[in-house]
Homo-oligomer: A and B are copies of this chain.
Amino acid sequence: MALKAIRAGSRNETGIAAVLGLMRERFGDRFQTGEAIRAQHAHTTTYIPAQLPDGVVFPDSAAEVEAIVTIASEHGVPLIAFGTGSSLEGHINAPHGGISVDMSRMDRVLEVNAGDFDCTVQPGITREALNVYLRDTGLFFPIDPGANASIGGMASTRASGTNAVRYGTMKDNVLAVTAVTAGGKEIRTAHRAKKSSAGYDLTRLFVGAEGTLGILTSVTLRLQGIPETIAGGVCSFPSVGDACNTVILTIQSGIPVARIELLDALQMQASNAYSGLSLPEAPTLFVEFHGSAESVALQSKQFGEIAAEFGSSEFRWTANTEERNTLWKARHNAYWAQKNLRPGLAIISTDVCVPISRLADCVEATHEDIAAHGLVAPIVGHAGDGNFHVGLLFDDKDAADITKAEAFVARLNGRALAMDGTCTGEHGIGQGKMPFLEAELGDALDLMRQVKHALDPGNIFNPGKIFAM
């Protein structure tokens, strides 16, 4: 459904031609129209076919973003904000053409308030660069979606990742943003107070808006103290159900686990091969605990007892940094390990999230579905949040394989919705999940359309994403 439904939209050719001229004049070398650079700005690891922008501009300041928005507004030309291009659902495609606004030059840390556990950054900084910058402050920014994404992109897709189970998602960790909106002016959604009841929650409106309501020019983030001790470990299970039930009981017991990741047997096989590990090729949990030495030891012990109840291999944990890094690097490379299972095939990375009590049901039913249809589809997941990704391998040049893949995705999303879940825990809607959002929220989509139309009447900000207008 999703893949077939994505079509190029109408193009405002005269507007685009005018804007190309104006951008060249205003930005010189910081405006590029070469095909290679345009292709780079429309396609990275997604299964969705690329739709190239007509040009790429690299602003240096909020004032320049205001100028870009003013030009684009006057001529009715789309603007697609671009961070690092690690989104998965066609978020950065240009179905109606237009200009990719590459934020990579706006990558400075504007302010760190260590005493308030917050900082303000430009949207182009990556999460790894931010954490390098913060290293000497004793603080860190916890959200880790795997990819070294930009903070602006993470805010825009409401990203989360491995340690959201402990620290929340971007929704919980963005205190305020500034953004240039349709009028071409920068607005600020909030200040630095930890909480506020000052009118509509505009901050949360921009978080997850996928660049459809304006272009972020700064993001104020909550930071966390670097834990005194970080310990982690790994254990494998007789069945994926046992692994899931261990997660469910761990969460229900209130153990404040910092990461609890599920990798199924096929994923372990893929990761062993790709990352040079030699772990059992059985359903596995990677876990991590943050806290004082005593607290981490206690959490590990409690977790080990629960895992043992479900027949796990012996749970060994370590505070050794190198051993932990090997494990988490393998986890972060799960996508490339999947790719490596069948080189040349494309991957749809699904993203359902269900209430934690339904995790085992949903994963087990999905495993049965994969087996029944003879699919190659390893599973990894942020299991503590009830969120898991099936890495469905398919031949994107074969119509029958596309149909088969899309039917699986539709069944999976339907299964998650029937369990009171969502089609996307963290990837966002983009182009790929538009039909599923409709199924998930029904008439509430009209409200989203009304908000979009009100805030972006010319439909210039990332048109053709989230919902059809």
Contacts and interface: CB of A to CB of B under 8 A. Distances in A.
A353 B450 contact: no
Contact of A357 (B115, B158, B429, B454): B115
Interface residues of A, number: 81
A117 B355 CA distance: 9
Q: Which of A118, A169, A196, A201 has the most CB of B within 10 A?
A: A196
A171 B201 contact: yes
A332 interface: no
Given A453-B454, A455-B451, A169 B193 contact: no
B421 A197 contact: no
B208 A201 contact: yes
A164 to B, nearest CB: 6
A101 interface: no
Given A199-B208, A357-B113, A467-B199, A191 B440 contact: yes
A447 B187 contact: yes
Contacts of A199: 208, 429, 437, 441, 445, 448, 466-467
A191 B442 contact: no
B386 A193 contact: yes
Nearest to A358: B116
A451 B208 contact: no
B196 A425 contact: yes
A60 interface: no
Interface in A191-211: 191-202, 204-205, 207-209
A424 interface: yes
Give chain A's interface secondary structure class: loop
Contacts of A393: none
Contact of A422 (B193, B202, B225, B444): B193
Given A198-B440, A204-B205, A422-B198, A115 B451 contact: no
Given A193-B420, A194-B385, A417-B191, A455 B450 contact: yes
B444 A193 contact: no
A425 B195 contact: yes
Nearest to A453: B454
Given A201-B204, A248-B115, A196 B424 contact: yes
A126 B21 CA distance: 61
A188 interface: yes
A251 to B, nearest CB: 8
Q: Which of A116, A159, A453 has the most CB of B within 10 A?
A: A116
Contact of A204 (B204, B385, B387, B424): B204
A446 B191 CA distance: 17
A46 interface: no
15 contacts: A118-B355, A158-B195, A158-B196, A158-B201, A183-B446, A190-B441, A194-B353, A196-B424, A196-B425, A197-B429, A199-B208, A199-B445, A200-B208, A225-B254, A451-B454
